[in-house]
């Protein structure tokens, strides 16, 4: 559902200040990732993981796959827990939330 900062917080914000904050935060996290890998920032990412626990579908090597998004791996892969219980790491692709992909 679309929203805005004003609707979400009731406050007014200047675009330049918001952009500056986003870029400064991104730069700190990016530098941390370059220096130490993804693992130290995984707890922060997990708090923001909108897919975790969602039923998803996507194509894996050209074959449709469905399961539950199960978080982010230390190497950046998306973990998918399949209907058979197996966990697969996915590194690129298009994820659909809730409904199966059309073939």
- For the chain, 103 residues long, give each residue's pLDDT as a single digit of tens: 789 999 999 999 999 999 999 999 999 989 999 999 999 989 988 999 989 999 998 877 777 788 999 999 999 999 999 888 999 898 888 888 886 555 4
84 closest CA partner among 68, 72, 101, 60: 68
How far is it, in rounded angstroms, from Cα 20 to Cα 35? Answer: 23
Among 37, 36, 69, smallest CA distance to 89 is for: 69
Q: At which residue do the structure tokens 């708090």 appear?
A: 47
Strands (E), the chain: 55-60, 63-72, 78-82, 87-90, 96-97
> How high is the pLDDT of residue 96?
86
This prediction's pTM: 0.68
């Amino acid at each position: 559902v679309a929203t805005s900062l004003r609707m979400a917080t009731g406050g007014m914000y200047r675009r330049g200040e918001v952009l500056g904050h986003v870029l400064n935060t991104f730069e700190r996290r990016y530098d941390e990732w370059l220096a130490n890998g993804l693992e130290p920032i995984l707890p922060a990412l997990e708090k923001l993981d909108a897919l975790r626990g969602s039923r998803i579908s996507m194509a894996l090597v050209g074959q449709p796959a469905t399961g539950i998004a199960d978080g982010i791996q230390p190497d950046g892969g998306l973990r998918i827990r399949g209907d058979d219980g197996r966990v697969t790491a996915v590194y690129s692709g298009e994820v659909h939330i809730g409904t199966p992909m059309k073939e």
